[in-house]
Amino acid sequence: MSRHQAYRNYDYENDLDEFDGEEDEYGEGEEELSPEDKAQMDAGTAEVRSALGPRASKVTTAQIQEALWHYYYDVDKSVAFLVNKFIEPPAPKPVPSKPQGGSPFSSSRTPDMQHGMERTGAEWRSRQKEQIPGVFTLYTPYLVPWLQVPDITARRQQHFSFADFFQDMPWLNVPQDRQTNFVQPLYPRGGLLGGSGAPPKMSKLQQLAAARKKKADEQKLGDKSKGDDSKPQVKDATKQMGKMSLGLKDSGKTPRPATSSLPSSVAEADVAPITPESRKRRNSDLLQLQGPGAKSPPGVPDTSVEEPSPVATAAPSIFAQTLLGSAPPAPPVPRTFAFPYTAFAPSVSDAFSGPSPDDVVLNAQAKASNKKLASATKKKGGDDKVGQAADGVKALKVDDTPLPKSKNLDVLSEYEKSKGKKSASFVVVGHVDAGKSTLMGRLLLDLNVVDQRTIERYRKEAEQMGKSSFALAWVLDQRTEERSRGVTIDIATNRFETESTSFTILDAPGHRDFIPNMIAGASQADFAILVIDASTGSFESGLKGQTREHSLLIRSMGVSRVIVAVNKLDTVGWSQERFDEITHQVSGFLSATGFQLKNISFVPVSGLLGDNLVNKSTDPAASWYTGETMIKELENSEPMTRALDKPLRLTISEVFRSAQSPLTISGRIDAGSLQAGDALLVQPSGEKAYVKSLELDSEAVDWAVAGQNVVIHLSNIDPIHVRVGDIVCDPKAPVNCIDTFTIKALAFDILMPMQVDVHRGRMWAAGQIVQMPATLDKVKGTILKKNPKIVKPASVARVVVKMSSKVPLEAGQRVVLRSNGDTVAAGLLE
């Protein structure tokens, strides 16, 4: 039950009913006698009456019972009380008109009352309603219930005055003798270790000892002045004391005003003033100790001059002085300390007297090439060596490798003139185990890119690992881990040629853990092959899995043409019905994703058996299909329009060492062109490099244009500045590194200000959605709502993302946003 429900259901009426009993003025109900009390009271009343005899008529039953209650049914006490108060009261004493000192608090507590104070407060209150006649009750319920004073009736009769009652309270007329005298407390004395505090009082014995010591000190000083060396032990002890009392001088020298915190004897002493001169002197002493040539290192501030005012040092305590006498004068102790390395100054200064290892290398290079690069090393010794060695290091940084020669070709006109094949890249996507790698392996086998013997070898090896069905997939899955696990992990590239086109395969992993690699593949593709597993149940599970996500991603990456390979139809007996069902469903969600139906083709295939890949299926069960083979569909696919005349942009997909260069890169040219000898800029490192040579399809070429996958051998750059995912660009029109960008994003999931991973090709960076300025109309791009708090899935929104570091990004590029392993959005940089 919630608290609100509990409050709602609370039965106030009922609970209040429980307290509707009569309450007295003190908030408590009247107490009634228990049956036992009542019986005891009745018996006690009878006993009191019989004890009083005929006098019993002079008291009422109530008075008897009150007395009994008061005295805990003690009949004798009750009788005595009744006799004294009601039957034979004593004659009233004369009451003084004014109280003579003292307090009614102490005087009014009669023995009678003190006995009676054995009842509880509640009992007192209950009794009030039945007061004994003639008893004045000054009742203060919480503070002084015992102020019920039965014997002050007389005072009441004389007009009780509160002013009199409080006459000597502290805030009124307090007599002098009752006023408080505040005595300063005794604080613990300091001074044992020379701390603060007044000089401690000395006992007579201590005074005697001190006087003796003083006398002995005076005698010692006299002896010293005479050159008397007869008491070495005392002298040693004094020396030790001198060491303890650093900075103390004899009272006769350079007196300083005594401070109130020091004992008089100590106040006579003084802390030796530490002047800049004394510090300098001390430092020079130290440097002398360290050896000739030692000096403060350059750039190190001279603290001996700049040190602030001296710090007071501890003086010997009175106790110590009593035992050992006052401290003799001691030399001032430096408060500066030498820098630790100044002690090794000679060796430091010698460090650059000879040629450095760099100099040695430079000299060797100069000898070999008859260049005089190492002129700086001619001079030996001296302070200039440091600068010269630095020059040598600088010289090392400059790569003296001759710049590669350029033919200065007009690449675009060369490209126009060339009658070469068109080149196209396609990415193979689909749910895990849909048969992507097997399909591509079979395609390469049927195209004779891979020979049958290789496949047989793979088959045997795969059989040994219990994965014989993966033999064709091994054509693409080359990594040991991929083969042992039976899954593609990274993008596998391969290439083949047809009569008209040079194709690059980008085989993407289907497993959701490797989506970033799939994104990298999709970012390089002109079109895509979407592989669907047609076997029973697999198509359905694939639709829930990566089939849909991959479709969204390739569209988001700008791929508009897709060939759907309805695979493994051999497992369903080449069922046309199954094919039609899959075609219907997939075309539905692909068109919903943004693909145009005219750009979607469906081919029923068996990657394992090779049906309808390069050759038409010979299976009679597949005779119903009259369409194109997979390879024909590929050839019919036009690659994307190339941005040939734009500045060079290439995303590095591989970095490796080759026979031609210690630094070779490969990647697809996204825009522009390049030729051997060109200068390149690598971002984000900002380092310049040169194209030593380049290759297309394993053949050396002079130039390459957008859309081609090229291998570039670089020179004049350190490999540490080049990484996979970096952008190679034209130094004259470089891509800038930014940390904040705005994209027009298609939301795959709910978007809100949140942490995201930003993917662009192989580049990855941590980021955060910091703003969502608007949701947009999908078709027109007009603003639907400004500053939405969240963006729903399948909506298009303008989103601002801030990354943790600067990365090369520019307008027109496509990025994917992922969060917690899921793709949440993808879009185009604005």
78 sits near ligand GTP (criterion: CB under 6 A)? no
Q: Which is nearer to ligand GTP, 56 or 434 (CB)?
A: 434
Q: In the complex, what is the shortest distance from the CB of residue 454 to ligand GTP, in angstroms, rounded to a whole number?
A: 16
548 sits near ligand GTP (criterion: CB under 6 A)? no
Candidates 55-63, 227-235, 277-285, 508-516: pick the segment binding ligand GTP (CB under 6 A).
508-516
Nearest in space to 314 (alpha carbons), one of 470, 196, 473, 149 = 196
Candidates 103-111, 335-343, 536-544, 568-576: pick the segment binding ligand GTP (CB under 6 A).
568-576
Candidates 136-144, 367-375, 567-575, 614-622: pick the segment binding ligand GTP (CB under 6 A).
567-575
551 sits near ligand GTP (criterion: CB under 6 A)? no
Q: In the complex, what is the shortest distance from the CB of residue 636 to ligand GTP, in angstroms, rounded to a whole number?
A: 23
568 sits near ligand GTP (criterion: CB under 6 A)? yes
Phi then psi dihedrals of residue 121, to 5 deg? -60, -40
Give the whole-angstrom CA distance, residue 435 versus residue 449. 19
Provide CB contacts within 8 A for 609, sequence distance 6+: 442, 570, 619
Q: Which is nearer to ligand GTP, 567 or 575 (CB)?
A: 567
Q: In the complex, what is the shortest distance from the CB of residue 510 to ligand GTP, in angstroms, rounded to a whole number?
A: 3
Q: Which is nearer to ligand GTP, 150 or 435 (CB)?
A: 435
813 sits near ligand GTP (criterion: CB under 6 A)? no
Per-residue string for binding with ligand GTP, 454-473, x by CB under 6 A? ---------------xx--x
Q: In the complex, what is the shortest distance from the CB of residue 606 to ligand GTP, in angstroms, rounded to a whole number?
A: 4
Contact 647/636 with Cβ under 8 angstroms?
Answer: no
Q: In the complex, what is the shortest distance from the CB of residue 683 to ligand GTP, in angstroms, rounded to a whole number?
A: 32
* Tokens linked to 232: 């070495």
3-state helix vs strand vs coil in the chain, percent to 5? 35, 20, 40
570 sits near ligand GTP (criterion: CB under 6 A)? yes
547 sits near ligand GTP (criterion: CB under 6 A)? no
Of the residues 148, 377, 425, 437, which one makes contact with ligand GTP according to CB under 6 A: 437
* Tokens linked to 792: 């729903």
Q: Could you tell me if residue 461 is left (phi over 0), alpha (psi between -120 and 50 degrees) or otherwise beta?
A: alpha
Q: Which is nearer to ligand GTP, 247 or 441 (CB)?
A: 441
Q: Which is nearer to ligand GTP, 582 or 807 (CB)?
A: 582
Q: In the complex, what is the shortest distance from the CB of residue 767 to ligand GTP, in angstroms, rounded to a whole number?
A: 28
Buried-state track 380-398, b at ≥16 Cβ within 10 A, e below 16: eeeeebeebbebbeebeee
Q: Which is nearer to ligand GTP, 507 or 757 (CB)?
A: 507
Q: In the complex, what is the shortest distance from the CB of residue 469 to ligand GTP, in angstroms, rounded to a whole number?
A: 3
Q: Which is nearer to ligand GTP, 392 or 435 (CB)?
A: 435
State the burial class of residue 18 (Cβ atoms within 10 Å of its Cβ: 0-12, 13-18, 19+).
exposed
Q: Which is nearer to ligand GTP, 535 or 685 (CB)?
A: 535
Of the residues 425, 438, 683, 715, which one makes contact with ligand GTP according to CB under 6 A: 438
Q: Which is nearer to ligand GTP, 423 or 517 (CB)?
A: 517
Paired with 826 in beta bridges are 746, 816
571 sits near ligand GTP (criterion: CB under 6 A)? yes
* Tokens linked to 680: 């390149």
Of the residues 104, 435, 545, 808, which one makes contact with ligand GTP according to CB under 6 A: 435
487 sits near ligand GTP (criterion: CB under 6 A)? yes
Of the residues 64, 152, 320, 432, which one makes contact with ligand GTP according to CB under 6 A: 432
Give the whole-angstrom CA distance, residue 469 versus residue 458. 10
**DSSP line for 170-226:** TTS---GGGSPPP-PPPPPP--TTS-SSPPPP--HHHHHHHHHHHHHHHHHHHHHHT
Of the residues 194, 510, 516, 604, which one makes contact with ligand GTP according to CB under 6 A: 510
**Chain center to CA of 819:** 19
Q: Which is nearer to ligand GTP, 510 or 521 (CB)?
A: 510
Buried-state track 652-671, b at ≥16 Cβ within 10 A, e below 16: bbebeeeebbebbbbbbbbb
* Tokens linked to 121: 């407060």
549 sits near ligand GTP (criterion: CB under 6 A)? no
Query: Residue 561 in 3-state DSSP?
Result: strand
Compute the half-sphere exposure of residue 164: CA atoms within 13 Å on the CB side of its CA. Answer: 13
Q: Which is nearer to ligand GTP, 44 or 435 (CB)?
A: 435
730 sits near ligand GTP (criterion: CB under 6 A)? no
629 sits near ligand GTP (criterion: CB under 6 A)? no
Q: In the complex, what is the shortest distance from the CB of residue 607 to ligand GTP, in angstroms, rounded to a whole number?
A: 4
Q: In the complex, what is the shortest distance from the CB of residue 570 to ligand GTP, in angstroms, rounded to a whole number?
A: 5
* Tokens linked to 365: 């290079």
Site for ligand GTP in 371-430 (CB under 6 A): 430
Per-residue string for binding with ligand GTP, 592-611, x by CB under 6 A? --------------xxx---
User: Which segments within 478-560 are labelled E, that is strand?
Assistant: 492-497, 501-507, 527-533
Give the whole-angstrom CA distance, residue 749 versus residue 774. 16
Q: How far is CA 385 from CA 346, 356, 359, 365, 389, in A?
A: 15, 9, 11, 20, 6
Query: Residue 699 in 3-state DSSP?
Result: strand
Helical ranges in 53-203 per DSSP H = 61-70, 75-82, 104-107, 111-116, 121-128, 153-157, 162-165
Give the whole-angstrom CA distance, residue 722 versus residue 665. 9
Q: Which is nearer to ligand GTP, 325 or 441 (CB)?
A: 441
Q: Which is nearer to ligand GTP, 27 or 466 (CB)?
A: 466
Q: In the complex, what is the shortest distance from the CB of residue 564 to ligand GTP, in angstroms, rounded to a whole number?
A: 14
Q: In the complex, what is the shortest distance from the CB of residue 438 to ligand GTP, in angstroms, rounded to a whole number?
A: 3
Of the residues 434, 515, 529, 746, which one makes contact with ligand GTP according to CB under 6 A: 434
Q: How many CB atoms lie within 10 A of CB 824?
A: 22
433 sits near ligand GTP (criterion: CB under 6 A)? yes
Q: How many CB atoms lie within 10 A of CB 249?
A: 21
Q: In the complex, what is the shortest distance from the CB of residue 487 to ligand GTP, in angstroms, rounded to a whole number?
A: 3
613 sits near ligand GTP (criterion: CB under 6 A)? no
Compute the half-sphere exposure of residue 720: CA atoms within 13 Å on the CB side of its CA. Answer: 0
Q: In the complex, what is the shortest distance from the CB of residue 567 to ligand GTP, in angstroms, rounded to a whole number?
A: 5
Q: In the complex, what is the shortest distance from the CB of residue 549 to ligand GTP, in angstroms, rounded to a whole number?
A: 13
Helical ranges in 622-779 per DSSP H = 630-635
684 sits near ligand GTP (criterion: CB under 6 A)? no
Q: Which residue has the tokens 């005295």?
A: 71
Candidates 82-90, 106-114, 257-265, 435-443: pick the segment binding ligand GTP (CB under 6 A).
435-443
Of the residues 126, 567, 664, 709, which one makes contact with ligand GTP according to CB under 6 A: 567
Nearest in space to 528 (alpha carbons), one of 501, 502, 498, 503 = 503
**DSSP line for 271-316:** BPP--HHHHHHHHHHHHHHH-TT--PPTT---HHHH--SPPP-PPP
Give the whole-angstrom CA distance, residue 465 versus residue 458. 11
Q: In the complex, what is the shortest distance from the CB of residue 588 to ligand GTP, in angstroms, rounded to a whole number?
A: 23
Residue count, binding to ligand GTP (CB under 6 A) = 23
509 sits near ligand GTP (criterion: CB under 6 A)? yes
Q: In the complex, what is the shortest distance from the CB of residue 605 to ligand GTP, in angstroms, rounded to a whole number?
A: 7
Query: Residue 656 in 3-state DSSP?
Result: strand
Q: Which residues bind ligand GTP (CB under 6 A)?
A: 430, 432-438, 469-470, 473, 487-488, 509-511, 567-568, 570-571, 606-608
